[in-house]
Structure 1
C-alpha cells in the first residue's frame, strides 16, 4: 500500500525488498544469464505461487524461445552503428563566400537598413537634442536602404530551384 502522506517508508516495508531486487538486477552484468537466485519466489514471469516456471516464459510473447537460446546477444535498434559509406547522397552545401566579397552597394544597403534604426534608437536614448536634419537624414537613409533591398528581390520563382540553397 502506498503512503498517502509521502513520508519516508519504514525499513520493514515490502517496497524495500522490491527496490533492492531491482537495483541488484540492474547492476548485474547483462551478458550473464540471471540465476534462479536473482528472482524472488513468485516474482518471475510465467510462474504462479504454486508451481514451477513455464517453459519459455521469460521470452516475449510471439517470439520463439529457441531463438534466444541460439542467439543470446540479439541486437536492438539502438545497437546500430553507422558506417562512413552510409552517405546516401545527402546535400552538402558549398562553403559560403567571405563577407566582404559581395556587391559593395548591396553590403552598404544592408548596413544602412540595419544601422540607421539602431542609430535612431541610440539618439533617442542618449542625445535627445540632436539636430533635426540628423533625425530626418537617418529616417530617409533607412527607408531608402529598405526600398533598395526590396527592389532587388527576385520577381519570379525559378522552376529548377528545389530550395536547397538560400
Structure 2
C-alpha cells in the first residue's frame, strides 16, 4: 500500500502487489466469506484474529444485524393498499387575488429591477425606488401571512 501519511509515492514504490491482492479477493467466491489479510501465509502463520477461530476466515455471524434493528428493506409490503391518490388541484384563477398579486409583485419587481439595470440604466430614480418599495411590501405581506403555530395532527406532509 501507499505510505500512511498520504505522501506522494516514490518512484520505486509499486502498488501492483496490493492491486493484485484486491482483484484476487474481489474475484473470490462471495459465499466463502471475507478473508483475512494474512490468509496467504502457511497454516502456522495464518491470522488468528477475533472471530476467526484460527481458520483464517472471518465468522459471518459477526456481520449479521440484531433482530431488533430493522433495516430499510426489512418489512413486508402491503399488497392490499390502494396507494395514495391526490385530490384534484384547484383551478389556477381560483386563489386569493390579493395573495396572487403579492406573489406577482414579490417576484416581478426584482425581475423588473434587473431588466432596468441591464437595458435602461438612466431610468428615473422614482421608478427604481418604487420597484424596491413594491418588492419589500409584497415580501412583508407574504411573510406576515405565514402561519405562526403548528396545527395539531399536522405532520407537515402536505403543502
Pick the TM interval, shorter chain: 0.5 to 0.7
Aligned to 2:47: 45
How many Å apart are 1:146 and its aligned residue? 2.7
Aligned to 1:30: 30
Q: Distance in 2 between matches of 1:129 and 1:16?
A: 68
Q: Distance in 2 between matches of 1:93 and 1:57?
A: 58
Q: Distance in 1 between matches of 2:73 and 2:151?
A: 39
Unaligned runs of 5+ in 2: 66-70, 79-83
Cα 1:24/1:119, change in 2 over 3 Å: same
- Normalized against structure 2, the TM-score is what? 0.53
Q: Distance in 2 between matches of 1:147 and 1:17?
A: 66
- Normalized against structure 1, the TM-score is what? 0.52
Q: Distance in 2 between matches of 1:25 and 1:124?
A: 63
SS in 1 for 2:77: helix
- Match for 2:53 among 56, 79, 85? 56
Unaligned runs of 5+ in 1: 48-54, 87-91
How many Å apart are 1:144 and its aligned residue? 3.3
Aligned to 1:85: 77
